[in-house]
Structure 1
Amino acid sequence: MSLKKNVAIIHPDLGIGGAEQLIVNIALALQMSGYEVTIFTPRHEKERSFKPTHDGTLNVQVKGSIFPSSIFGKCTALCSMIRMFLASLYVILFGGEYDFIIIDQVSAILPIFYLSSSKVIFYCHFPDQLLCTQRQSSIKRLYRFFIDKVEEIGLWKPDLIYVNSNFTLSITKSTFKSLASINLHILYPCIDLNFISNAPYPQFFENSKYFFSLNRYERKKNINLAIEAYSSLKDKSVKLLIGGGYDPKMQENVEHYAELCELCKKLELKYVEVDNWDKPIKNFDVYFVRNLSEIQREQALQNALGVLYTPENEHFGIVPVESMARGTPVIAINSGGPMESVKNELSGFLLDKDPKKWGEKMMMLSEDNEKRTKVGAYAKEWALKEFSLSSMSSKLNEDFQKLLKP
């Protein structure tokens, strides 16, 4: 029997977050094994996307964008479902012949694939209903009751369900009781190891030592902790760089960025938005960057004293893995995915969310070069062994071929 090789991936918004990085790497991993891959998404913009999605490496098609992403800033989950439904309908009716279809994040649209003969794979980052905690009004509760139910019903359809960690597996099983008899498979996010080594130092720092926080500008990412921890450092010759995805169309991104600036003022930290990466910017403590380019991201990761990963109960978190692969130690909260990806006291440090404890570890990394080098070396070895693109490629190919067996 000849191996079948055609794969469609459907993702709600192909931006520059961790979920998007995962989808890009899944596509690259499948291409490594000889699969023909097409990514369908309702939203993809060159200025806020990973390079392989716009340089010709990956085939990306925008479908489903005819429907808005929100209705007067509301109903984003419902709008995402409808946009994904339209993209999926296009794939089924007009997209061509696919042997495997991977759906990311939005399980509610999975029943439509009863119309397709393709093998259907769903990647679950975390139950969506647990991400929506604001349900004060009766209308919102009724709206979310519908969304939550179709989310669970959709999960009955896939031929294979991946989750990103043991943590997510346990939460998913406990949330969706009807999945008790369904096997969930762990597919850890991976990283592409073809990055530029020895990336130059960010020129705007003029060789100042710094710590790096990399997250989207969202409240759940707990970036406040990085700023509060930094404020406890006595040596302000060490700087803090905060970077990540920022979408001016997302109200929370705009609001939270302003909140972080206000926090800096409250803590009497001098802050600045970096508008020219290559021009020295002196006499500031906290440096904000929005939507880093891949070159900027690489420079920041490779040259930092350490990466501060602040989300609590993060489903997996690709940033610690990216950091470790470059030999940069990680400080992360001791919950969720980082408890599986970071080897405590070996490749990084897992702490509770006490800013003073974080500040102490930051001080140690800034002063003890020998310890920092030792932790960085172990981190690199660990990450390259456990989270490479080639290991993901092998697992995906093995699992996909099993699906084809009668």
Structure 2
Amino acid sequence: MVGRLNIAFVHPNLGIGGAERLVVDTALCLQQRGHRVVLYTMHHDPSHCFEETRDGTLEVRVCRTWLVPQSVGGRLHILCTILQSLALARSVATAREQFDVLFVDQLSAPIPLLKHAHAHILFYCHFPDYLLARRDALWRRLYRAPFDLLEELTTAEADEIAVNSRFTQETFRRAFPRIGRVPRVLMPALNLHAYDRPPEADDPALAVLRTDKRLVLSINRFERKKDIALAIDAFAALADRRVCLVVAGGWDVHVAENIEYLKELEAHAHGLRLRTRTVAPRGATAAALALLPAGAVRTPTFPEDDARDQLESTDVLFLPSFSENQRAFLFSVARCVVYTPTNEHLGIVPLESMYMRVPVVAVNAGGPRETIPHAKAGYLCEPTTDDFSKAIQRILADDDDKWAAMGAAGRERVQRDFSLDAYAVRLEHVIGEMLQRPTSASAVFGALMTLFIVCAASIAFVLAYRL
């Protein structure tokens, strides 16, 4: 075990998602092992975050980047994000306290500037960003080219690189041939104790979820790459109508895709003649309500509201920005969880589901192939309506004993391989080896390289946009 360290996490947005859950759990496990931990971020909304970052369990420092917008006229998103991340890196590098380790994830662009902090840098690569970018037009390809180079060169400046699965490791190797080193596989863990707390039964926000129907659950951010429409298609193909599909996920008023995709999914469900209902996040402002699909309802104030009767006539319930208590309740009553992304680099939701003894139906590709024991804790399927529908129906048709056995197998798998304690030991081993080596690269060179790439990207955008 390494000695007590000062560790800072550098993460762009502490919202609600798998990447954020990883950062929070990693910070928690290191803090519990006696290390001093601080989280730096560009955005932290107390109404849209994990509880540990809100209740004081973890120290969060927000770097306000007022001078850099999120976009310019709906464009230049990646450039603005990089500029914001550089401002965040400056805050870390000029902090009064000296950090031993910087845990950086998602964005590698600030790594060169973070060298000024004179700390060892561990970069956790969830998935190469450039593989997720759109390239459907010449100007987009020209615009992205400098950023793709920036991602590879700045990633290489980290003292240690880790990835979340063997699938991501192989993808990383192919994506970044210039780096010339294979990253470590460091699969994330779950804070199991957080899932052991039963839901607070008197929470008024649960009224909209109580029903005599059996529940099929989908949890994902409202992003098109998550292919949530597949869950709706598979559900529509079920013969049993005494079932309700709950589509819950991260939804942010500041993310245009979240807003657009939720509306697209509701329209898609209507096209399949499914009855839908959208429940607004608790405490949603009038501005947020205006961005939700038409007819979205507020969370009932009292449990005795007629929410149960309304849900009885609902096929698909959309639950954007659900609370942790709602999540706990849904896992406690769901018959199965449907996880639809293809080539997902890992997938925290299947791990959560298995630990909560809920069988999972997921795509037979990417991270889920490494985490879900097929036919024991769930089913791995081709991303087709027919395959998913058959797997869901199989779970719904199982008797209680077989269903419970499948849930127990999933829980045992997570307890054995994805506990926070086991993860902390692996992480400390990686950090210990990293600290034995001198920090790599030059801070001055890194800063000049970042400045050059950002300027080149700006010029590329101007030239490409005029084509």
The equivalent of 2:79 in structure 1 is 78
- Contact 1:121-1:158 within 8 A present in 2 as well: yes
- Contact 2:112-2:154 within 8 A present in 1 as well: yes
Shift of 1:64: 4.4
Shift of 1:95: 4.8
Q: How does 1:8-19 map to 2 (within 5 A)?
A: 8-19=8-19
Secondary structure at the aligned position of 1:10 is classed as strand
Q: How does 1:1-400 map to 2 (within 5 A)?
A: 3-66=3-66, 67-138=68-139, 140-180=140-180, 182-194=181-193, 195-199=195-199, 202-204=206-208, 205-274=210-279, 275-276=298-299, 278=303, 279-280=307-308, 281=310, 282-369=312-399, 370-400=401-431
- Contact 2:219-2:339 within 8 A present in 1 as well: yes
Q: Deviations over 1:220-251 (max 9, x none)?
A: 00000000000011111111000001112211
What is the aligned counterpart of 2:432 among 393, 401, 406?
Answer: 401
Shift of 1:50: 0.3
Shift of 1:361: 1.6
Q: Distance in 2 between matches of 1:154 and 1:312?
A: 27
Gaps in structure 2 of 5+ consecutive residues:
280-297, 438-467
Specify the code of the residue in structure 2 equivalent to 1:367. Answer: A
User: How many matched pairs?
Assistant: 404
Shift of 1:144: 0.6
Q: Deviations over 1:86-108 (max 9, x none)?
A: 11111111252100011111112
Percent identity reads 34
| Range with bigger deviation, 319-328 or 77-86 | 77-86
Quickly say closer, same or farther: Cα 1:221–1:191, change in 2 above 3 A: same
Q: TM-score, normalised by structure 1?
A: 0.96
Structure possessing the higher radius of gyration over alpha carbons: 2
Gaps in structure 1 of 5+ consecutive residues:
none
- Contact 2:331-2:358 within 8 A present in 1 as well: yes
| Range with bigger deviation, 88-97 or 153-162 | 88-97
Quickly say closer, same or farther: Cα 1:2–1:260, change in 2 above 3 A: closer
Q: Deviations over 1:54-77 (max 9, x none)?
A: 100000010143222222222221
Specify the code of the residue in structure 2 equivalent to 1:97. Answer: Q
Q: TM-score, normalised by structure 2?
A: 0.83
Specify the code of the residue in structure 2 equivalent to 1:223. Answer: I
Specify the code of the residue in structure 1 equivalent to 2:191. Answer: D
